[in-house]
Chain A
Amino acid sequence: MAGENNVGLVLLDFWVSPFGQRCRIALAEKGLSYEYVEENIMATKSDRLLRSNPIYKQIPVLLHDGCIIIESLIILQYLDEVFPDTRSLLPTDPSERAHTRFWADYVDKKVYGCGSRLYTEKQLEAGTEMAGILKTLEEELGEKEFFGGEHGFGFVDVALMPFTTWFESFNRYWGVNVEEVAPTLAAWAARCMKRESVSKSLYSSEKVHAFISGMRKDAGFE
């Protein structure tokens, strides 16, 4: 995918991974070209992936200039720091940066932590917890157009958007309808989906739901 802005970036990724999707959105927001490499992590992992990430053997992995960068939020911060002339995801003020990092960490710990129970647990009992998490996020969003506030579409927006394609599954498996439980959050998701960086990086809720159902079947839960 060499283009005008070819800076030798390679992203090892998996199409439906929300963590990989974060990186794709960020690279698109920054107008950076990169080589996308689909790793089929459900099958045998490639030598390149295992060499790049021996600790977790997971995607996403960003290769740049002979360097290996792993963990999606770390990759996002790296991109901000290495390409300062591109649109930044984090604000500059330390206090705002801390606030931003806290909420991105909240997405990891809570949205992913609870959300992944869709396919790690047979019993479908996490709905109440997820409803609470969504309400907390809605409260944090408040009246802002984006979680990034004055900074605009930013770090937390990118961190959370991929998980909005799980909303359909939250509804079908847990009966958690985001439009009812957290309508402002649902509106935010629809707003972000209009951004090209987002719409080109994410897959439809139906496709994601089918994938999650597949994981549940593979695990013997249904």
Chain B
Amino acid sequence: MAAAGAQGSCGGEDEGLTLLGFWSSPYVLRARFTLNLKGIPYKYVEEELFGDGTKSALLLASNPAHGGKVPVLLHHGRPVAESLVIVEYIDEAFQDRRPRLLPSDPHERATARFWAACVEQKMVPAWAPVFCGRTLEERVKAAGELVAVLETFEGVLAGGRTEFFGGESAGLVDVALGGFIWWLRASEAMCGVKTIDPARTPLVAAWAERFSALDGVREMAPDMPTLLEYHLWTRARFGLPFLPLHQPPL
């Protein structure tokens, strides 16, 4: 199930960067957003993670501790793994490339790192049963809990009163949460519940529109019908019951 046009170079002069990824992975998207927003050229390699293919030898050798998980960034052959480690690495290794994703003040940096980690520690566990729920009821309940987590992020935007979590421009938290936008949007088709709900989290909803429209982000958007098809295929692969997609209201 490899996406079309998977291989290829992005950008100008060669910085010796290669990103091993998978089209729908929110973690890979974080790395792509970072490189794209900063205008850093890199070679992108789509890994065949499922279906008939197997992980490339390069991927397995580059992230053996995690069994060849994507994303992996290779910089002059040296691997960097774990999406947020990759994002901070790019920010530090290419200091002259704007925007800087981490603020310069240490306390603000600690705060940004905290909220970026919160995406993994709070949002992802809330998201998992929306994707993997065995019954519609389970998925709907999980979606409700996920909205509550996004209300926490709503509070962050309300407190900061800025366009992005990073301030005037996108930062670490925008990139960390941004990778999940399309999966969050897919929840309505999965179980009839909007997880990014303008009625519940208007600031997060506006942020999602704004962030996903940015140059460097927009072009990475997974195609929604393909994303939904992939999620049905993954559910089947893990032996989960088939639950039909919800049709959008006319």
Tally of chain A residues near chain B (CB < 8 A): 24
- Nearest-neighbor residue (CB-CB) of A105 within chain B: B82
Stretch among A76-84, A149-157, A167-175 lining the B interface: A76-84
Q: A74–B117 contact, CB under 8 A?
A: yes
Contacts of B88 in A (CB 8 A): 97-98, 101
Contacts of B199 in A (CB 8 A): none
Best-surrounded residue of B81, B85, B93, B110 (most CB of chain A within 10 A): B110
Q: A98–B86 contact, CB under 8 A?
A: yes
A45 to chain B, nearest CB (A): 18
A contact patch SS: helix
Chain A stretch 27-83: residues in CB contact (< 8 A) with chain B: 55-56, 65, 67, 69-71, 74-75, 77-78, 81-82
Q: A70–B114 contact, CB under 8 A?
A: yes
Contacts of B92 in A (CB 8 A): 94, 97-98
Tell me, yes or no, whether B107 is within 8 Å of chain A by CB: yes
A209 to chain B, nearest CB (A): 27
Q: How far is the CA of A136 from the CA of B114 in the complex (A)?
A: 27
Contacts of B117 in A (CB 8 A): 71, 74
Contacts of B82 in A (CB 8 A): 101-102, 105
Q: A97–B89 contact, CB under 8 A?
A: yes
- Are A71 and B93 CB-contacts (below 8 A) given A78-B107, A82-B106, A102-B80? no
Q: How far is the CA of A75 from the CA of B117 in the complex (A)?
A: 13
Tell me, yes or no, whether B246 is within 8 Å of chain A by CB: no
Tell me, yes or no, whether B200 is within 8 Å of chain A by CB: no
Best-surrounded residue of A78, A102, A106 (most CB of chain B within 10 A): A102
Best-surrounded residue of A78, A94, A140 (most CB of chain B within 10 A): A94
Tell me, yes or no, whether B4 is within 8 Å of chain A by CB: no
Contacts of B122 in A (CB 8 A): 55
Tell me, yes or no, whether B113 is within 8 Å of chain A by CB: yes
Q: A77–B110 contact, CB under 8 A?
A: yes
A32 to chain B, nearest CB (A): 14
Tell me, yes or no, whether A95 is within 8 Å of chain B by CB: yes
Q: B113–A74 contact, CB under 8 A?
A: yes
B145 to chain A, nearest CB (A): 15
Contacts of A56 in B (CB 8 A): 121
Contacts of B106 in A (CB 8 A): 78, 81-82
Contact code string B46-84 (vs A, CB < 8 Å = 1, else 0) = 000000000000000000010000000001001011100
Tell me, yes or no, whether B118 is within 8 Å of chain A by CB: yes
Q: B85–A101 contact, CB under 8 A?
A: yes
Tell me, yes or no, whether B152 is within 8 Å of chain A by CB: yes
Q: A78–B110 contact, CB under 8 A?
A: yes
Contact code string B101-135 (vs A, CB < 8 Å = 1, else 0) = 00000110110011001100110000000000000
Q: How far is the CA of A65 from the CA of B107 in the complex (A)?
A: 10
Q: How far is the CA of A101 from the CA of B92 in the complex (A)?
A: 13
Residues of A participating in the B interface, judged by any CB pair closer than 8 Å: 55-56, 65, 67, 69-71, 74-75, 77-78, 81-82, 94-95, 97-99, 101-102, 105-106, 136, 140
- 18 pairs, CB–CB < 8 Å, chain A vs chain B: A55-B118, A65-B107, A67-B110, A69-B107, A71-B114, A75-B110, A78-B106, A78-B107, A78-B109, A82-B106, A97-B88, A97-B89, A97-B92, A98-B86, A99-B80, A102-B85, A105-B85, A106-B65
